[in-house]
Amino acid sequence: MSITNWSLISLLSSSIEQCKSIEFMPLTSTDEYKVYCCCEENIYLCLNILEIKPIVNLCYSFIFSKDYQQDNQLNISTRVLLCYITECLTSWNIRRRLLLSRIINIQEELQFLDILLNLKPKSEQLFRYRRWILKQEGIDKVSTNKELELCDRTAEKHFINYASWLHRRWIIQYLNVNIDEELERNRLWLENNLSDSSGYSFRAHLLSKKVLDENLIRNELNMNDNMLEFYYDRESLWIYRQTLIFLAMKFEMIDKKQLLNKELDSIKNIQENFFSNKYSRLLNTLLSSDGKQFRT
């Protein structure tokens, strides 16, 4: 393996370490030389999307080479590789070992992850590794607002980002987050992201953390009504409404026939479409079975 190859990986690693933002772009190469990256004032780093394969192959060759197993070398090669392939478990496991050995600084690693999450906002392994680091640092030291803001940013950057919402569930579980305040934040987010079913799935998760009653379900249905009045063709709204009905059907004190008939009447005010017809068929099916399957 030539020194030129290692110098290239070292240069990329140094650029990644110093920059604050990374993007992939098609950078023009010539027959005389290859362009692998372009830095601007050590803040913005553009990686050549046309040269991904050779860089990835180089990183793998160094990671599995007996001659490049020193901690600082593994730190360099895994840092570069993870910018290209964030789902590489081998690299994450190496970095776990380096962090436990204090070769890697926790705060610097969290900053690296912030950059990677802007580049790859839907990476499950990135979020999983971040949670592991936060546990190593200590839950009491975690900034709840920072983690919530990170979830907001990654959910906005990638549509139906379940990895981001799963991280948010973890925050709710381990940090001191007020469920009512989180429901309000989620409501505001959904107003601008009506079609994102992952946001509604998270809202249903929040509701499961509360003591459910008929009034709470009715308030959620009213919110859904307001949205359907203008966005009657959004599947995510109909799926969430179906979820609310299933939750309501579990209450022993609720008159299920009355609830289902009221739902059938309410959707008559909504412009008929494929989703409203499908929902109507579901309600009629539940009525014909008298909701018996929900009485267990």
- Could you read off the pLDDT of 207-256 as tens digits, one per residue? 999 988 888 999 999 999 999 999 999 999 999 999 999 998 888 778 88
Q: Would you say the pTM of this structure is higher than 0.85?
A: yes
What strands, in cross-sheet order, belong to the sheet with 21-25?
21-25, 44-48, 37-40
Roughly what angle, to the nearest 10 degrees, separates helices 106-119 and 144-157?
20
Secondary structure element (H or E) that encloses residue 21, with its range: strand 21-25
Q: Which residue has the tokens 């895994």?
A: 78
Cα separation, 125 vs 163, in Å, equals 9
At residue 45, φ and ψ (nearest 5 deg) are -115, 125
Cα separation, 284 vs 143, in Å, equals 48
Q: What is the pLDDT of residues 42-73, one digit of tens each?
A: 789 999 999 999 999 999 999 999 999 999 99
DSSP state, residue 121: T
- Report domain extents, the chain: 1-101, 211-296
Contact call for residues 175 and 148 (beta carbons, < 8 A): no
Question: Position 86: which residue type?
Answer: T
Contact call for residues 263 and 282 (beta carbons, < 8 A): no
Give the model's pLDDT for residue 112: 97
Mean pLDDT per 10-residue segment, the chain (296 residues): 79 94 92 87 90 96 96 98 97 98 96 96 97 94 95 95 98 94 96 95 94 89 93 95 91 84 90 94 89 46
Closest listed residue to residue 91, CA positions, set 113, 75, 105, 72: 75
Cα separation, 73 vs 107, in Å, equals 20
Cα separation, 52 vs 126, in Å, equals 19
| 3-class secondary structure, 161 | coil
Give the model's pLDDT for residue 290: 60
Q: How many helices (H) and strands (E) does the chain have?
A: 14, 3
Question: Position 58: which residue type?
Answer: L
Locate 236 and state its tokens.
Answer: 């995510």
CB contact burial 258-282 (16+ within 10 A = b; e otherwise): ebbeebeeebeebeeeebbeebeeb
Question: Position 232: which residue type?
Answer: Y
